[in-house]
Amino acid sequence: MGEARVIPIDKHVARGLCRGRTAGGRPCRNRAGESGYCRRHEPAALATATAEVEDRSRFEVELERLLSFTRRRMTGDYAVDDFGFDADLTENVLIPMLRPVYDRWWRIEQKCLENLPSEGAALLVGNHSGTLPWDALMMKLGVFEGIGRHCRLLAADLALRLPIVGELARKSGNTLACEPDTVRLLDKGEVVGVFPEGFKGVGKPFRERYKLQRFGRGGFVEMALKTGAPIVPVAIVGAEEIYPMIANLRPLARLFGFPYFPVTPTFPLLGPLGAIPLPSRWMIEYGEPIPTGGFGPDAAMDPMFVFNMTDQVRESIQQMLYRNLMVRRNVFF
């Protein structure tokens, strides 16, 4: 290791000093760069300073990223928005954890990504299926992989009430499916994802697969009309087969306070192993955006208009589903 490099400081230019310490333990008096350290003390620069020619290996980059993430978590040094979205945790932990499931387990293929806006608000409306809402998570990840934006999902209060699940749901940017939150997010220019079928869709029996259920009460259309955010229909093929639900034990569901209690070929027969979803092959298609601006402020107040638009969205998702099912050769390959 060479001698300490003296970096000339122009005190008039210097806005802050380095946060590091010298070998003697005194605070370093060098000028700080963007990171708050001088060039010598900056953790990223250490490798280049010591090993002069050697490029920093991938290992070091990863190590540095991991350590600095750990430090941020240990000192609470990260930003969250009012809804509780913690981008630091989502991008560094949750998304990397889900990526293998997305790439390897379900081998998700995305179509027509150009229909997703690169900026501004949009309301993504998808079909809901699969007993557990994996499809919502995969769509969220798909949007991030496709256009690098975080899709803010609208969830049921049951999900937000559960320990750990509720906490992670909030931290990954999701919120309660209710009008004030949705309008607030769309007004902020976020991409919002909603599954209007709700529990009716996610908890429907296997024999009704790919048949869209009633689309709520059209609330999502009202909110899109109020904010002028375009509606992007999304068809998700493959999620219906992950836990084929052959029966619903209603008494048990009532006992636990769940909307349904599924019986699948593996659950509850194999116990916790039944929670492993089947590795179907997925396809996510984004449909042409349906503009909602320009109908005037009264459109959201006109129930007939809202019903028609709801049907239009539902119909376009159903068509996309059929189209993709036609080209699918096999559920698993």
Partner 1 sequence: MTKQRVLITGVSRFLGGRLAQRLEADPDVEEIFGVDLDEPTVELTRTEFVRADIRNPLIVKVLQATEVDTVVHTAVIATPARVGGRAQMKEINVIGTMQLFAACQKAERLRKVVMKSTTAVYGSDPADPSIFSEDMSPASHPRGGYAKDAWEVENYARSFGRRRSSVLLTILRFANFIGPVIDTPLTRYFSLPVVPTALGYDPRLQFVHENDAIEVLYSATRQDRPGTFNVAGDGIVYLSQAIRMAGKVPMPVLVPFAGLLGSMVRQTGLVDFSPEQLSFLMFGRVADVRRLKEIFGYTPAFDTQEAFRDFIGKRKLAKVFSEEQAERWERDLFDFLARRARTRVSPAEEEA
Judged by the rule CB under 8 A, the positions of this chain that interact with partner 1 are: 19-21, 41, 43, 46-47, 51, 54, 57, 59-60, 63-64, 67-68, 70-71, 73-78, 80-84, 86, 157, 160-164, 166-167, 170-171, 175-176, 178, 180-181, 184
**In the complex with partner 1, which residue's Cβ is closer, 66 or 270?**
66
Least distance to partner 1, CB of residue 78, Å: 7
Q: Which is nearer to partner 1, 111 or 188 (CB)?
A: 188
Token pair for 316: 């376009």
Nearer to partner 1, 89 or 108 (CB): 89
Least CB distance from residue 321 to partner 1, whole Å?
Answer: 31
Extract the tokens encoding 62.
């990863």
Nearest alpha carbon to residue 280 among 97, 95, 101: 101
Nearer to partner 1, 170 or 314 (CB): 170
Q: With respect to partner 1, which residue has the nearer C-beta, 76 or 100?
A: 76
Q: Nearest distance from residue 21's CB to partner 1, in Å?
A: 8
**How many CA atoms does the CB half-sphere of 283 hold within 13 Å?**
21
Can you give the three-state secondary structure of 9-67, one letter per residue? CCCCCCCCECCCECCCCCECCCECCCCCCCCCCCHHHHHHHHCCCCCCCHHHHHHHHHH
Nearest-approach distance from CB 132 to partner 1, in angstroms: 18
Is the peptide bond prior to 265 cis by the omega test (within 30 degrees of 0)? no
Nearer to partner 1, 166 or 268 (CB): 166
DSSP state of 275: G
Which residue, 109 or 181, is less far from partner 1 as judged by CB?
Answer: 181
Compute the least distance from the CB of residue 51 to partner 1, in Å.
7
Q: What is the 3-state secondary structure (H, E, C) of 143-201?
A: HHHHHCCCEEEEECHHHHHCCCHHHHHHHCCCEECCHHHHHHHHHCCCEEEECCCCHHH
Least separation in angstroms between CB 104 and partner 1: 28
Tokens of 67: 């350590």
Nearest to 234 by CA among 303, 282, 184, 287: 287
| Contact (CB, 8 A) for 217 and 314 | no
Pairing assessment for the beta strands 151-155 and 191-194 based on DSSP bridges: parallel
Q: Using the minimum distance from each CB to partner 1, give the nearer residue, 14 or 51.
A: 51
Shortest spacing between CB 54 and partner 1, in angstroms: 8
* C-alpha–C-alpha distance, residues 257 and 172, integer Å: 25
CB of 224 to partner 1, least distance (A): 18
Q: Which residue, among 116, 140, 121, has the nearest Cα to 188 in the 3D structure?
A: 121
